[in-house]
Structures are given as structure tokens and as C-alpha cells.
Amino acid sequence: MTRAILTLNSGSSSLKLGLFTESLEMLAMGHVDRIGRREAAMKLTGSNGAPLPLPETAPDAFATNAAALKTALAAFRADFEQLEIVAVGHRVVHGGINHAAPEEVTPALIKDLARLAPFAPLHQPHNLAGIRAAIDAFPGVPQIACYDTAFHRGHPFVSDVYALPRAYYDKGVRRYGFHGLSYDYIESALARSEPDLHAGRVVVAHLGSGASICALKGGKSIASSLGFSALDGLPMGTRSGELDPGVVLYLMDQEGMGAAEISDLLYKKSGLLGLSGISNDMRTLEASEDPHAAQAIAYFAFRIKREIGAMAAALGGLDGIVFCGGIGENSARLRAEVCTDMAWLGIDLDAEANAQNAREIGADRVRVLVIPTNEEIIIARAARKVLCL
């Protein structure tokens, strides 16, 4: 019987699962992609990266995040019957003011985290649904919540506040930042393999269905493109990114839209999907000959470039850029567009290395790296630490 830690990472359109020994050796990984679409599919791989057999699934097996979770858990159980799950670690997008470190889940904590759902409506409900499903699937097994916002809680005041009356800041209206588990992994990877760069000024671009930029100085987050909610900063798959608040007032006053309609527009109908009118998936857009697809990609790249410049200013200079996330790790075209005409900042690409998705793709003073992120190992580490396994 092998004692193992299960990790669950439920995103807005994907589900990732990890299975680790207590010594944090990876046993298996699972990934369900494009949830809610006809193309949805599940991949399972073993410790050597080889595919694991997939069970037969019903037509609606991946219709929702909850259905995908149930299907994936069943597949893991079928492949690893001799496992004893000793802990389940969960990605939770929003920890608010009061939750800045991993902790064991209690009924009171679930209620507290549910109150933060309006701040991250695409993720928090899925995260909590995953916790509840895991409690049902593994009764009595400790569940550990790991927060995407925790990594940014040491921000300086100027990176944490909005220019509103101070009372709102005291109530929790502040810049939280997200994707902290991913940035935590990249920070640890740099500390291990690139200590000199880790000690310097690095911009990390987490680019996927959700996207953000983080400025690291000496391995610490000092600024993030994301703020109070997961709507700020860069445009994303279906989210608008940075928006003049006056647009929201216009939608209310002139278009007669209510809060629910505006939320649906900004979270589910904007971003790459809204701009292109085609898809929220970068692979689909890159394969399209529709000029609107090219415009959506160009806008995405422009906003990333602008944010890199802003983060370089916050850092007082730049020593390196790290691309991670599904798009950042796999789209040579997007990386090339982002780094074009950035020589003034010391950024240039080795075109051949970039096309091959090499780890080191820079060709100028600023180092440019592609590092696959691994939120699952961060969650597993946290679960082991909290439970002293």
C-alpha cells in the first residue's frame, strides 16, 4: 500500500490532478482540457510521462468542472487501487485578507471562502466544489487549501492599494494578485537552477486561459498585473482585463445592464473570445486565417509588452523574463510578438531556440526563459508541510 497526496487544481476551463508520494515523488498527473466543449478530453500520465489507460466515459463526462472531477477521480482510482490517500491539497484562488498561508479545511473555512466567491466567480465556486467532492470521496482525509493570493501578500503598500477612500482598503478592497501557486513554483525553480537571476529583477508572465504578470525582486513579489479580482490586467481567454471603470458606468446607465449581465460580459464573453468572435483558445486563433483572430493575438501581445515595461519600472530595471502557463510555454508565435521591438529594454529572442520551445530563448542582455510551471508540486509541498508528513 502506497501512501499518497492528491492535488486538485480546478481552473475556469481545465482541471489538473497530481498524485505524489509523501516524499513528493510524482506518481501520476491528470489533465482535463477544454471543459464544457465538444473537444474536451482527459490525459493521464505516469511517473515516467507515459500515458496511462483511460476508462470509457459518458458523453457528458466533461460537461462541467464537477463532472470532469468525478471522471478524473474515477480514472485515478482505477489505475492505482493500492493507494492510500493521506491528504488532498487544493488550489483556492482567493484567500482574501485573512488567509495568507496554506491551512487545513474546516466547515468554518469553507463558509469563509465561499464569501469570497464574488471576487473570483469563475474559479472560487469550482475550487470549493472540488473540496466538497474530495471530502465526499475521501471521508476523514485531511484537505488542505492553498491560496493563489498568498504569494503576493507581502506587496508594498503602493502595489496593494487603490486611490479610493482609505475605509475601502481597510474593508479589503485592495490589489490581491493571483496565480500565486504558479509564481511560487517559478521562484523556487529559479532559486534552485538560476541563483544569480533569482537574486535579481525578474518579470514572470503566466499566460494561459487566465493570464497575469508578476514582478519578482530577490524572489519576492512586489507587483502584479492582477488586482482586486481576476478581471484586472491582461486580457485573457474570456475576461476583459484592465478596463476603464467608466465603461461599467456606461453599460449601466446607457445600455441598461445589471450586475449579472455585466459580470457575464466581462468574465465570459470578452478577452480573446470577445475580440476575435471566434474562440478563447490560442491554438484555434493561431490556426485561423480570420483577421479578427490576428487582431486578438496582437492586442494580447501588446498588453503583455506594456505590462512588462510597467513591471520593469516597478523593479528599477530588468534582468530576466520567464514565460510560463499553457500559452507562455507553448506559443512561439506569441513569445516572438511580445519580444519584438523590445531591444531598448535589453530583450531579444533567439528565433531558432524560440521555435523549438527551448528553455533559454534570449539573445540579448535580459535573459528570456521558458519554464513549465508546476502548481501541483507546490500544493503537495504545502499539504505535507501543514500536516507534518
Average pLDDT in the 79-83 region? 73
- Better pLDDT: 182 or 69: 182
Q: What pLDDT, in 10s, does the model give residues 211-257?
A: 999 999 999 999 999 999 999 999 999 999 999 999 999 999 999 99
pLDDT digits (tens, 9 = 90+) for 262-305: 999 999 999 999 999 999 999 999 999 999 999 999 999 999 99
Percent of the chain with pLDDT over 90: 77
Does the active-site annotation cover 148?
yes
CATH dotted code for 195-370? 3.30.420.40
Closest CA to 319 of 200, 220, 193, 183: 200
Residue corresponding to grid cell 471543459: 35
Decide if 312 contacts 192 (C-beta within 8 A): no
The answer to whether the CB of 275 falls within 8 A of the CB of 301 is: no
**The domain 2-147 belongs to what CATH superfamily?**
ATPase, nucleotide binding domain (3.30.420.40)
- Kindly report the pTM of this predicted structure: 0.92
d(CA 114, CA 380): 23
What's the pLDDT score for residue 115? 94
Parts of the chain belonging to CATH 3.30.420.40: 2-147, 195-370
67 has pLDDT over 90:
no
In this predicted model, which residue has the larger pLDDT, 236 or 40?
236
State the burial class of residue 141 (Cβ atoms within 10 Å of its Cβ: 0-12, 13-18, 19+): middle
Confidence band, pLDDT 50/70/90 cuts, at residue 369: very high
**Predicted local confidence at residue 12, as pLDDT:** 63
Q: Are 88 and 144 in contact (CB under 8 A)?
A: yes
More confident residue, 44 or 141: 141
Phi, psi angle pair for 36, to nearest 5°: 85, 0
Q: Which residue has the higher pLDDT, 193 or 121?
A: 193
pLDDT surpasses 80 at 65: no
Of 1, 8, 230, nearest to 120 (Cα)? 230
- Is 11's pLDDT higher than 70? no
Question: 69 or 204: which carries more pLDDT confidence?
Answer: 204
Check 33, 79, 148, 348 and give the catalytic one: 148
